[in-house]
Structure 1
Amino acid sequence: MASEKPLPAKSSSIRRRRTGGARTVDLSHARIDRAHALAPGLFRSLGPGDRKRLKLDITYDYGNGEKLEFWGKDPLGVFDMRVFQGLIAMAGPDGIILENSQKADETGQNLLTRLYEPADEEVRNAVIKPRSLEVRDSLKRLAREIGAPENGQSIKQIKHSIERLFGVTVMVRCGNKSLGSRLLSAYFSDDSNGALRASLNPRLAHAVMGGGPHARIDLIEARSLKSDAVRLLHQRLSAFVDPGKSRTVSTETLAGYIWPDPAESPRTARSRMTKVRKAVGELRSATGWNITEIKPDQWRFIRPRLIEHERDTLVP
């Protein structure tokens, strides 16, 4: 497409090393739109049977009159969150910018049309569509970046996850205006060669390119985590504790980040609190976060500062 151009690599976004002659690229972080990262219940811990029993239907009041609604026939679990983080990270240094529908070929015009579904007639008919980002890579690369195996079963699991992400509708409401899109705007894969193409919705792309509030998710930290509970805590805490900052959060609040629904019994509530304390311990031991219990069930989280070479070079 004539409208495509590579996104300049951020110097802090990737580490390259050679292992046995093979080139391995480890992305260091993902820049996720803060509202997507904070939305309670968008990603959740799923038990046996939850995938069939539950639907995705949540509303998040982001503040300043802005509300986000997420709908999907399948709930999104922790593995889906890891795939989501990986796709957004890959869109950072390696993504293709999609921006000018007038210069695009027919395929590109169709893609850009699907990226954005505004209610405003002027925006819908504009020559220049909102910019988005497309990942063009492989399913194996995505598996490697999220710390998943690169075997056939894992690749199949990743494909199913991307399809669930693609099936989510996002509605942003602000005042009298509504703006709809998919969580992922487009998706393509090829089993014969493992090729992957996926594009982000305009709001996610805007954050990756430095245009809006974002949560910096450290993938080096994320790859070191093992349990679902600590992975959910890590993304949620990373969404409102910026590098070098601190926050105090109760164990009860942390439990709500993992299980958005109220506990069905006192026994379940106690079990959740125990799992939260264990997850906090894992986060403390696996990452550079400074975590202290300042009083019973009150935790102070201090996130490590970025060193100079880790700071982002924003895309204009």
Structure 2
Amino acid sequence: MGNNLTHARIDRAHALAQGLFRSLGPGDRKRLKLDIAYDYGDGEKLEFWGKEPLGAFDMRVFQGLIAMAGPDGRILENSKTADSIGQKLLTLLFDPADEETRMSVMKPQSVEIRDSLRRLAREIGAGDGGKDIKRIRESIERLFGVTVMIRIGRKSYGSRLLSFYASDEESGALRVSLNPRLAHVIMGGGQYARIDLVEARSLESDPARLIHQRISAFIDPGASREVSIERLSEYVWPDAADTPRTARSRLTKVRKAVEEIRDLALWNIKETGVDKWRFIRPRLLESK
């Protein structure tokens, strides 16, 4: 069976959070930690913490999970109406997980995926051999280890990036539930970024994949935006380059990434100045 999912609807704040996913070099996984804050505007701020940074492959896995939760996910209602399995999963959504907090903060709902690691591999365009499945499982566990704190005015609430995770190496079975904010978007609420998986599967380099998600998060289908090479570089590497040579190397990779996206005829990209481009996103076809 081939790929059949066309897109992922990701909460826009998660998709825009700079540094949540980044390009990683040798040793970065052990050297760096995830510790970022993103000001979404209107007094809303998201903070993400994890013992390891998240790379471009983790982003692909994240996109695949959200896409699978769209048409195939099982809605877990609030604890007054959830079944016994749903009630157990809901206890993992907030910390502390007392009934009063869960019901008063946002009446949390989640979406649970019950599928397989091999299906996830196919949907993100990865291999489904033993090493590939192991890599995907490790990525999901990294995503599960990320804590998200959302602050709106004087109120705060926290959860994991993924609320629940379970897999079986022998059968390849996979169960994942999303945090309430991600689930809310999938169920039709909130602002979202539409990530085209057909486009994402066509890309080969990490910089192109990272840039593709970020521009997809702030340029809606049929719209356009001018972006400089410096801004695109920040989408791939949120930290400043430590040497001039590294800075030049990054800019070269960004130029190649822009060419990669343009060569695949994914977007109409027009050069508007020295290392500046206008990204024109294709209109959304009704069939998609």
TM-score norm. by structure 1 comes to 0.87
Identity %: 72
> Which region of structure 1 is more displaced relative to structure 2, 286-295 or 190-199?
286-295
Superposed counterparts of 1:135-150, under 5 Å: 135-150=113-128
| Aligned equivalents of 1:28, 1:58: Cα separation in 2 | 30
Secondary structure, aligned partner of 2:67:
helix
Given that 1:116 and 1:202 are in contact with CA atoms closer than 8 Å, whether structure 2 keeps it comes out as no
Secondary structure, aligned partner of 1:26:
coil
Shift of 1:287: 3.8
Shift of 1:102: 2.8
| Aligned equivalents of 2:119, 2:103: Cα separation in 1 | 37
| Aligned equivalents of 2:266, 2:81: Cα separation in 1 | 46
Superposed counterparts of 1:106-145, under 5 Å: 106-117=84-95, 122-125=100-103, 129-145=107-123
Given that 1:292 and 1:301 are in contact with CA atoms closer than 8 Å, whether structure 2 keeps it comes out as yes
Q: Tell me which residue corresponds to 2:218.
A: 240
Secondary structure, aligned partner of 1:197:
strand
> Which region of structure 1 is more displaced relative to structure 2, 211-220 or 116-125?
116-125
Question: Residues 162, 95 of structure 1: CA spacing in aligned structure 2 closer, same or farther, 3 A cutoff?
Answer: same
Could you list the structure 1 runs, at least 4 aligned residues long, displaced by more than 4 angstroms after superposition.
118-123
| Aligned equivalents of 2:200, 2:81: Cα separation in 1 | 39
Q: Deviation per CA, 1:13-56, whole angstroms, max 9, x where unpaired?
A: xxxxxxxxxx4442000000000000011000000000001000
Given that 1:255 and 1:273 are in contact with CA atoms closer than 8 Å, whether structure 2 keeps it comes out as yes
1:274 to 246, 252, 257: 252
| Aligned equivalents of 1:51, 1:258: Cα separation in 2 | 15
Q: Deviation per CA, 1:174-206, whole angstroms, max 9, x where unpaired?
A: 111001000000000011210000000000011
Q: What stretches of structure 1 of length at least 5 have no aligned partner? A: 1-22, 311-316
The letter for the 1-side match of 2:122 is: R
Secondary structure, aligned partner of 2:30:
helix
Shift of 1:121: 7.8
Q: Tell me which residue corresponds to 1:160.
A: 138
Q: Aligned pair count?
A: 288
| Aligned equivalents of 1:146, 1:158: Cα separation in 2 | 10
Question: Residues 81, 130 of structure 1: CA spacing in aligned structure 2 closer, same or farther, 3 A cutoff?
Answer: same
2:12 aligned with 1:34: yes
2:241 aligned with 1:263: yes
Shift of 1:105: 4.2
Secondary structure, aligned partner of 1:261:
coil
Q: Tell me which residue corresponds to 2:45.
A: 67
> Which region of structure 1 is more displaced relative to structure 2, 201-210 or 151-160?
201-210
| Aligned equivalents of 1:100, 1:200: Cα separation in 2 | 14
> Which region of structure 1 is more displaced relative to structure 2, 135-144 or 278-287?
278-287
Q: Tell me which residue corresponds to 1:86.
A: 64
TM-score norm. by structure 2 comes to 0.96
> Which region of structure 1 is more displaced relative to structure 2, 58-67 or 111-120?
111-120
2:272 aligned with 1:294: yes
Given that 1:112 and 1:129 are in contact with CA atoms closer than 8 Å, whether structure 2 keeps it comes out as no
Shift of 1:122: 4.5
Q: Tell me which residue corresponds to 2:147.
A: 169
Superposed counterparts of 1:43-54, under 5 Å: 43-54=21-32
> Which region of structure 1 is more displaced relative to structure 2, 145-154 or 24-33?
24-33
Question: Residues 220, 268 of structure 1: CA spacing in aligned structure 2 closer, same or farther, 3 A cutoff?
Answer: same
The letter for the 1-side match of 2:79 is: S
